[in-house]
Amino acid sequence: MKKIVLVNGIIGGLIVAVMMLISMAWLKNGHSNMEWGMVYGYASMIICFSFIFVAIKTYRDKYNNGTVSFGKAFMIGLYITLIASTFYV
């Protein structure tokens, strides 16, 4: 479980950091289109949240014989979110 959480958390965190840097550079150049910002924000959230889904599915299929409890899936998602959020902050 640790490897799945670390790999997906780091990938998600790097994506969040890169997306943040791109948006900062975009705003610094004076491009403050709100519609683009909304689409960009939702797209980055969907991309990062997909790593939580992939990690839980990988854990369920490879390590837990096709079943996973809600508590275990919640903890995997929470750990990935904590790792990814450290890249954002």
pLDDT in tens, 48-69: 889 999 999 999 999 988 999 9
Whether this prediction's pTM lies above 0.75 is answered by yes
Q: How far is residue 80's CA from residue 56's CA, in Å, rounded to a whole number? A: 10
The length of the chain in residues reads 89
Instruction: Report pLDDT digits (tens) over 2-45.
Output: 899 999 999 999 998 998 888 888 777 776 677 777 888 888 88
pLDDT of residue 49: 87
**What's the half-sphere exposure (Cβ side, CA atoms, 13 Å) at 36?**
7
